[in-house]
Structure 1
Amino acid sequence: ETAKLVELVCEKLRDGMATFGIIMDKDGFGSMIHANRFKGIRAVIVGNEQDAQIAREKFDANILCIPTSKFSEQRTLEIARKFITTEFGGNKENEKVIADMDKA
């Protein structure tokens, strides 16, 4: 069930029908690992708003995997809000790192 959701989110991103994806499951790890198998996907699990901001600013993360066992609903919303409102910083060093990741 979660695998199908991950694939759907990745397809929507790949096809340009979405800018971000947010996947919630018990621990987040399986979803993150599965999503990162898709070309152009940079899925992360974060522990707080600062991590969400870094993931977006430095690495242009496009899927946030949220472990439902770890956060309250309010905390989840705060982290997701930070993730989707933070823009990629776009410096040359980070762009090269991302381009190298996308080649793999």
Structure 2
Amino acid sequence: MNISIGNDHAGPDYKKAIVSFLQDTGHQVTNHGTDVLDSVDYPDFAHPVAQDIAAGNSQLGIVICGSAQGVSMTVNKYEKVRGAVCWSKEIAQLAREHNDANIICIPARFTSIPQAVAMVKTFIDTQFEGGRHSRRVDKIKCS
């Protein structure tokens, strides 16, 4: 699967661990994130991930910032993108099953690296349930 990832200065270590996990499990990764701890602007790294999803170049995305709120607000501006702030494996699973989320938004300042990797594994291993949830997801659209 093609997966895009982006992060600001709160997430280089998280990204490194997640990319290693993804590559070890056979996924292809497009890296839009920073590798430095110097302050940067999260939209510069979230927009390219959302664009990859919207254009169909990646099936899933991962964005990381301190709280995950800023990257979530950024990616959710795009049609066909449903970014979900996740802080546990259970939330990641429900975001995929019930909301058909295609970008996981990880709060680096509120989760550990092992938690983040476990959430990503759950997120990519979980499928959308459809059914009654399809009707609800359809209602998210503005047009």
TM-score (norm 1): 0.92
- What SS is found at the alignment partner of 1:76? helix
Answer yes or no: is the 8 Å Cα contact 2:50–2:78 preserved in 1.
Answer: yes
Question: Which whole-Å deviations, capped at 9, do the CAs of 1:6-41 have from their partners, x for residues lacking one?
Answer: 110111001111111101111100110111111111
What is residue 74 of structure 1 aligned with on the other side?
114
- What SS is found at the alignment partner of 1:94? helix
- Calculate percent identity across the aligned residue pairs: 24
What is residue 43 of structure 1 aligned with on the other side?
83
Segments of 4+ moved more than 6 angstroms: none
Structure 1 alignment gaps of length 5 or more: none
Question: Aligned AA for 1:96?
Answer: R
Question: Aligned AA for 2:102?
Answer: N
Question: Which whole-Å deviations, capped at 9, do the CAs of 1:54-76 have from their partners, x for residues lacking one?
Answer: 11001100111101111111111
Question: Aligned AA for 2:58?
Answer: A
What is residue 139 of structure 2 aligned with on the other side?
100
What is residue 83 of structure 1 aligned with on the other side?
123
Structure 2 alignment gaps of length 5 or more: 1-40
Higher helix share: 1
| Structure with greater Cα Rg | 2
What is residue 23 of structure 1 aligned with on the other side?
63
Higher strand share: 2
Q: In the aligned structure 1, how far is the partner of 2:112 from the partner of 2:133?
A: 32
Q: In the aligned structure 2, how far is the partner of 1:79 from the partner of 1:10?
A: 19
How many residues are paired up? 103
RMSD of Structure 2 on Structure 1 (CA): 1.1
Offset of residue 99 of structure 1:
1.3
RCO (CA 8 Å, sep 6+): is it higher in 1 or 2?
1
Question: Aligned AA for 1:15?
Answer: A
- What SS is found at the alignment partner of 2:58? coil
Q: In the aligned structure 2, how far is the partner of 1:79 from the partner of 1:19?
A: 17
What is residue 54 of structure 1 aligned with on the other side?
94
